[in-house]
Structure 1
């Protein structure tokens, strides 16, 4: 019976996740969460009572969804160890029917971010923002935007064990091909660092945050995944086809897609007023 948690067990679990073909991002997240748990335990016995104390501490410092993310990582690890008795219940989260206005990126704000990046001379960032928003891809999927994909007009994305085709708008295709030519990128990844490595999430996230003040956009709204949400809302407003949108976004469940197209309370009030049912 394991009485204390060790880095050796964590590393074994990470190898297991890799063998299960989990994404690099998922493995990094689990690694971060489990080593934080290891730090909390620090010479403490690995018991359910101690873990409940950890869970309580998390609840006092993080949102419910963040706490659940950490609990999922821990529960998966305990199952791997055969310690099902240590698994913890996830927090119950009341389903929200409206999105938070303070976190919803508008089309006008998106345009200001693009224009600000251009004014600052960061053409690469401007194109990264436009590529994510115009295609709906995840930031981790930018690696599939290659010169070869640009020439074909579509990219084949392989993420989380699923393959899907992402079509590129013609205007974006032309702009990115011109960008690649101007930067002597003849093959492979279009968005790369000075050393030739593909841009990662942290590079893009940090660069986007630098645009906030000059673009007059709240920092809470400025992160790569919010561009994907704007794509989803824009597509749905035109097509009203949630099943097709789920396929485009690479979602296994339409319930996940519903979160992306959730309207704000402000928008709902506007629709109520338009109904004119009060005589």
Structure 2
């Protein structure tokens, strides 16, 4: 990965800075800061996959998001260039974007410490998600087959007969959001999902910090209503499934309490 990252940087005319490397889940991605030939501060992110799997939603998500949203009113990095290379059945894609000189809210998707964000930040997030929800796409972030199977298994309630599907970011957690100005990162998984899925995802990753969870509910009062029941149930099912695999175990108690509330709401 490092060697291919270096080759892509040379091909794109980028000088990468030494020091910190940012590795994604299971070493699938590698990101580094750099400077383009025109002096712009940029970010070069490489992802890799077996040739047979170098296609579809996760592979082209950032490119399609650029076409659909642009910079989302300044709330997402601009994708400047893409460089592909292959070697012995493995494909490497380098994505060059504008660099954001502000930190992510948390290095981990789960929020583990108190957080203070301005009313403007929350308003900007609400506007961004509203814009995304109104976009038209045939991409799929949450499969209906998963909803039918996972909700009975992990939430203990059947999927509703009718679900309102909207466009969602698909991975809205604290490691994909910046402060003090909001930028939304990592658009690999965007597509159609149940209404409220993004908002419920952020809430789920905030369950260890009740004050922040309250801010999310205040910003998105639609949470807890019938309109977002399916979106809430899906992320609860996804994270309880991850708990069953040994991940996010600290979230298990509040997630199970949320699942109980969802069952009670479904019976009303």
**TM-score, normalization: structure 2?**
0.24
Q: TM-score, normalised by structure 1?
A: 0.24
